Amino acid sequence: MWLRYSVNLAKTAGKPLQRWSARQNVTSTGDALILSRHVWSLKRSSPCEESSSEGDSLPHLPVPPLQQTLDKLMLSATPLIASSQLSASKQVVERFGECGGIGDKLQHLLEEKANKTVNWLEDWWLNVAYLDYRKCVPINVSPGVVLPEQSFTDQQQQLRFAAKLIAGLLDYKVLIDGHNVPQEYMGGQPLCMTQYYKILSSCRVPLPGRDAVRQFSSDDAKHIVVIHNNHFFSVDVYGKNGEQLSQDQLYQQLRSVVERSPTLAPPVGILTANERDTWAEVSKVLQAGCWGGHQGVGEDIRVLEGEHQGVEGDIRVLAGHQGVGEDIRVLAGHQGVGGTSGCWRNIRVLAEHQGVGEDIRVLRGASGYPTNGKTIAEIQKSIFVLNLDRAMPETKTGDERYSVMAAQMNHGGGSAHNSANRWFDKTLQEWTEVVVWSVCCRSGLRLWSGQFVVGVDGAVGITYEHCAAEGPPVIAIVDHTFTYCQSKVQDKKPAAGVQEPTQLPFKVTPEIDLAIKQAAGFIDKEISDIELIAFKFMPFGKEFIKSQKLSPDAFVQVNLQLAYYRLHGKPTATYESGSLRKYVHGRTDTIRSCSIDSHNYCLAMQDKNVSAADKIKALRSAVAAHSKYTREVTNGQGIDRHLLGLKLLASENKMATPELFQHPVYTDSGYWKLSTSQVPSKHDSLLCFGAVVNDGYGFCYNPMADHMNFSVSAWRSCSETSAARFEESITTALTDAQQLLLSNRSQG
Ligand code: COA
């Protein structure tokens, strides 16, 4: 999936509570592999490199020839630029590519970087596409995945299913721990498997300006975190000798969680749904200046006298510091910087801090705040999070229910529903809805909060934070888990020495309470703005398209172009994720789906004077052009990551931004009003995500054999776009194309 790395983010940020004035250094902690903004390049070698030769034997991501990229840029921009602008655009592109010019210099630098690194794009992409992203993680970064709905008849069935889900995922973890994830191939070539090893036991960490990722050794994690009614529990899934719990034991663990959390807890989890800078600041307040895992340092700080409201959040005691019990004096005019001597040395008082001239006393063990730091550290270290959700509002069946489930996975449905029953920073969260069933109540009403509910709501799915991996590896793990759930597997022997689930408490101060309300307001506003529709396209699936000797992916893409063109009367820059996993540590590049050929297809379809035979020709040409571009991208010859690399090098080398990167030939042709992704699955699942620009659409699809699952999103605040209209338009475009092929078979 694409993220908004190059987009001018017009959607405004909520107000941060307070502003950090100093740059934050992130320290590594004992139990994490490393905590770093360049996390995967600095941490110990990836499993792909550690465990076998497949990482070493994979080719390094190439740097495409500059002229080739510039030619392709010009071609892809042609349908998007007014014809009057074409010759000026061509000149800008040519100037950039002149021998000895700026492009040439940057290309040279990029080739040097490529020679020195395992993957020249890796760190840049992680930062630019993910960690630098400042808006919220739900909707914008974390996709949701809807799995086939279950029909539970009572709560026991639901918890038994959830227990099996855990068992299925732990079954996959055995492959990960043994570095035995089956090698995958694309077109006969092996793919980089590194992403698989980053999905479990990892977590995004909010930091000002740029987040980090914590990746824990999977040997360390013996627990999952279960969230129910906003309560957090650490649930051991292995016994004292390291054996996995039986399904029955897992079920008993979940039962204990549900019984011990009958009413709603303060919605602390919703803080993770906020904008990243705000959450980064709140997270410090929540932990009283102590980074999770840094027990014993920040947690002893307490500001005396009630008039210092909020001050604790602004004091940060750095690692190794012994300030406890000392008097700290904040000196007048000493804004933002820790002093240089005495007890000042390691204490930083931040700008805008009210405390100047006042005495602050640091007390030993005076605060209850370590609770929060420890809770957060437990969540971060856990293998994954299981959300036992409350039922979503009752809907009809079919696509309406499908859309509600998609929303539930993508963002939790808002503060009134399940958005607080999450820890959005966690890489992998699986959820099932818990509905409490009672034979006593026959009214058909759904009631919340541990009260009885009649009806069974078997929504199942996941939400995952995107830093670690693309959809396909996540879906492969989920496919395995779901297949396991559906199969009759012999239960394991009960493990010995099973610990009861431990509740992970949060201490909520008035300041945090305020932050929770602000976060709830923020995410509710975002959710009310996003229109997300999930639907099943039933007329045909990929087998029909293949029977026409066409690529299903390309067929969907060119018809997305038609759907957009019919709605908006013009073509638009379109992003499709294309895999770079043929290369070591490869992630994705952009398949630019809008092409001269796709535009010709749109024009032909809209022209009554064009014969059916010519329309079919146009369709086949567009599909062929898309398939060709896809092959180029997956073979490292795309243009978007290449141009991004050149642009970032200019900035890193403090060069003036080259005119190319400010010209519409580049900016408009990369303003992705249509952001799309194919995420296939063995099961009837569907991934969904929000539109990446304010006036655009997000579109994801899982082409099954005889039907296709689609999700489409758009922002309600934009009057030009509508997910509902797009649903209609893509449905019509696809069925028109099918009719065309069927009725004119002989002419195709
Ligand atoms: N005639 C008949 N069959 C054809 C065909 C043709 N002309 N062209 C393709 N097919 C078949 C393929 O052999 C394949 O068959 P299978 O179902 O038996 O495997 C099937 O159609 C699908 O091929 P196609 O539709 O062309 O797509 P693809 O599977 O090659 O996928 C991408 C294309 C771009 C999605 C893929 O290359 C990719 O990069 N995926 C990663 C996406 C990603 O990372 N997303 C991130 C999400 S967060």
3-state secondary structure 620-646: HHHHHHHHHHHHHHHCCCCCHHHHHHH
Regarding the beta carbon of 142 and ligand 1, being less than 6 Å apart is answered: no
Sign of CA dihedral 462, 463, 465, 469: positive
H-helix or E-strand spanning residue 214: strand 212-216
Give the model's pLDDT for residue 308: 30
Distance CA(559)–CA(674), nearest Å, equals: 12
Regarding the beta carbon of 696 and ligand 1, being less than 6 Å apart is answered: no
Sign of CA dihedral 683, 689, 692, 695: positive
Regarding the beta carbon of 645 and ligand 1, being less than 6 Å apart is answered: no
Please say whether the beta carbons of 224 and 235 come within 8 A: yes
Q: Which fold does the domain 36-133+531-747 belong to in CATH? A: Chloramphenicol Acetyltransferase (3.30.559)
Ligand 1 centroid distance, CA of 553 (Å): 6
Distance CA(684)–CA(147), nearest Å, equals: 7
Distance CA(305)–CA(360), nearest Å, equals: 9
Ligand 1 centroid distance, CA of 680 (Å): 9
Phi, psi of 708, rounded to the nearest 5 degrees: -135, 140
- The single-letter DSSP state of residue 299 is G
Please say whether the beta carbons of 80 and 594 come within 8 A: yes
Ligand 1 centroid distance, CA of 186 (Å): 9
Ligand 1 centroid distance, CA of 702 (Å): 11
Please say whether the beta carbons of 557 and 593 come within 8 A: yes
What amino acid positions are annotated as catalytic residues? 466
Give the model's pLDDT for residue 276: 98
Q: What percent of the chain has pLDDT over 70?
A: 77
pLDDT digits (tens, 9 = 90+) for 265-301: 999 999 999 999 999 999 999 986 433 333 333 333 3
Distance CA(6)–CA(337), nearest Å, equals: 34
Tokens of 570: 């013009």
Give the model's pLDDT for residue 744: 73
Neighbours of 164 (CB within 10 A): 21
Distance CA(515)–CA(268), nearest Å, equals: 9
Q: Whose CA is nearest to atom 7 of ligand 1?
A: 550
Regarding the beta carbon of 553 and ligand 1, being less than 6 Å apart is answered: yes
Regarding the beta carbon of 589 and ligand 1, being less than 6 Å apart is answered: no
Is residue 592 classed as helix, strand or coil in its secondary structure? strand
Regarding the beta carbon of 552 and ligand 1, being less than 6 Å apart is answered: yes
The ranges assigned to domains in the chain are: 1-30+291-368, 36-133+531-747, 146-172+221-276+379-490+503-527
Please say whether the beta carbons of 190 and 343 come within 8 A: no
Q: CB-based contacts of 320: which residues, under 8 Å, 6+ apart?
A: 297, 346
Q: How many CA atoms lie within 13 A of 560 on its CB side?
A: 33
Regarding the beta carbon of 549 and ligand 1, being less than 6 Å apart is answered: yes
Pairing outcome for strands 202-205 and 574-579: unpaired
Strand order in the sheet with 385-389: 502-504, 231-236, 223-228, 385-389, 428-433, 458-464, 144-150, 686-688
Please say whether the beta carbons of 109 and 649 come within 8 A: yes
Distance CA(675)–CA(622), nearest Å, equals: 18
Please say whether the beta carbons of 449 and 177 come within 8 A: no
Give the model's pLDDT for residue 158: 86
Q: What is the separation of C-alpha 403 from the centre of its chain, rounded to a whole number of angstroms? A: 19
Give the model's pLDDT for residue 397: 78
Regarding the beta carbon of 630 and ligand 1, being less than 6 Å apart is answered: yes
pLDDT below 70 — which residues of the chain? Answer: 1-56, 288-369, 431, 433-457, 745-748
pLDDT digits (tens, 9 = 90+) for 552-575: 999 999 999 999 999 999 999 999
Pairing outcome for strands 327-329 and 428-433: unpaired
Distance CA(613)–CA(291), nearest Å, equals: 66
Neighbours of 69 (CB within 10 A): 23
Ligand 1 centroid distance, CA of 682 (Å): 14
Q: Residue written as tokens 């969260």?
A: 429
Among 298, 310, 250, 306, which residue's Cα sits nearest to residue 501? 250
- The single-letter DSSP state of residue 437 is B
Phi, psi of 587, rounded to the nearest 5 degrees: -110, -100
Question: Of the residues 678, 681, 734, which should be mutated to test ligand 1's pocket, given the most ligand atoms within 8 Å of the CB?
Answer: 678
User: Which atom number of ligand 1 is nearest to the Cα of residue 587?
Assistant: 44
Q: Whose CA is nearest to atom 34 of ligand 1?
A: 578
Q: Whose CA is nearest to atom 27 of ligand 1?
A: 553
Q: Whose CA is nearest to atom 44 of ligand 1?
A: 579
- Total residues belonging to the chain: 748
Q: Whose CA is nearest to atom 9 of ligand 1?
A: 551
Q: How many CA atoms lie within 13 A of 104 on its CB side?
A: 7
H-helix or E-strand spanning residue 433: strand 428-433
Among 296, 210, 312, 292, which residue's Cα sits nearest to residue 32? 292
Please say whether the beta carbons of 693 and 7 come within 8 A: yes
H-helix or E-strand spanning residue 703: strand 697-703
Ligand 1 centroid distance, CA of 562 (Å): 20
CB neighbour class for 179 (10 Å; exposed up to 12, middle 13-18, buried from 19)? middle
Distance CA(715)–CA(723), nearest Å, equals: 8
Pairing outcome for strands 144-150 and 223-228: unpaired
Q: Give Cα separations from 745 to 478, 549, 556, 610, 736 (angstroms).
A: 39, 12, 19, 16, 14
Distance CA(515)–CA(510), nearest Å, equals: 9
36-133+531-747 shares its CATH topology with 146-172+221-276+379-490+503-527: yes
Return the exposure string of 378-390: e unless at least 16 CB atoms fall within 10 Å of the residue's CB, then b: bbbbbbbbbbbbb
Please say whether the beta carbons of 233 and 511 come within 8 A: no
Give the model's pLDDT for residue 345: 28
Distance CA(135)–CA(9), nearest Å, equals: 9
Please say whether the beta carbons of 716 and 528 come within 8 A: yes
Coarse DSSP helix, strand, coil percentages of the chain, rounded to the nearest 5 percent: 40, 15, 45
Tokens of 619: 């369709």
Regarding the beta carbon of 55 and ligand 1, being less than 6 Å apart is answered: no
- The single-letter DSSP state of residue 2 is -
Tokens of 372: 């929060």
Distance CA(551)–CA(549), nearest Å, equals: 7
Please say whether the beta carbons of 227 and 269 come within 8 A: yes
146-172+221-276+379-490+503-527 belongs to CATH 3.20.20.105: no
Distance CA(154)–CA(454), nearest Å, equals: 9
Cite the beta strand spans of 107-176 per DSSP E: 144-150
Give the model's pLDDT for residue 457: 67
- The single-letter DSSP state of residue 127 is I
Distance CA(443)–CA(14), nearest Å, equals: 42
